């Protein structure tokens, strides 16, 4: 399989994993954090809830990076490509939600996407078989 195709599939896998992990973790926030479901509907989150959402994004980014590296077998390329695509996907969302969250929230989320995807890629890279 050509390298560019493997990296493309890795980015797609990373994005799918990002959204699956984020959806599952967000469901847990709704169940475990009192008042979160109502706050989510109104888009009025407490500081703790916003931190919880950032933690969900961090976990999803790390998992996405690990998945991308596993598929691509090329940590640097997969992590870079996934990080760029995640930022490109989420900047318009955060522009649309700019008034909903404080500026620090947007900054932390957007600036952490690529580094956390890279971290996940490093953690998820295939290791040579120990014999």
DSSP string, 77-94: HHHHHHHHHHHHHHHHHH
Instruction: Count how many domains the chain has.
Output: 1
Would you say residue 131 lies in a domain? no
- 120 pLDDT higher than 60: yes
pTM listed for this prediction: 0.91
Q: Taking 80 as the threshold, does the pLDDT of residue 128 lie above it? A: no
What confidence tier does 129 reach under pLDDT thresholds 50, 70, 90? very low
pLDDT of residue 77: 85
Please tell me the distance from the alpha carbon of residue 57 to that of residue 64, in angstroms, as a whole number.
10
Residue 3 has pLDDT above 90, yes or no: no
| Contact partners, residue 121, CB within 8 Å, separation at least 6 | 65, 66, 68, 69, 75, 76, 78, 79, 82
Identify whether the C-beta of residue 69 lies closer than 8 Å to the C-beta of residue 121. yes
| Residue 130 belongs to a domain | no
- Decide if pLDDT at 127 tops 60: no
Looking at the domain assignment, is residue 46 inside a domain?
yes
Residue 74 has pLDDT above 60, yes or no: yes
Q: Give me the domain span that covers residue 33.
A: 3-124
């Amino acid at each position: 399989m050509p390298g560019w195709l493997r990296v493309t599939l890795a980015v797609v896998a990373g994005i799918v994993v990002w959204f699956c992990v984020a959806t599952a973790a967000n469901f847990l926030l709704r169940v475990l954090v009192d008042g979160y479901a109502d706050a989510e509907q109104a888009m009025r989150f407490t500081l703790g809830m916003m931190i919880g959402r950032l933690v969900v994004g961090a976990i999803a980014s790390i998992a996405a990076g690990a998945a991308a590296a596993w598929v691509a077998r090329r940590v640097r390329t997969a992590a870079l490509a996934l990080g760029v695509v995640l930022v490109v996907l989420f900047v318009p969302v955060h522009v649309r939600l700019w008034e909903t969250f404080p500026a620090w929230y947007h900054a932390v989320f957007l600036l952490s996407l690529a580094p956390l995807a890279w971290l996940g890629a490093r953690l998820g890279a295939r290791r040579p078989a120990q014999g």
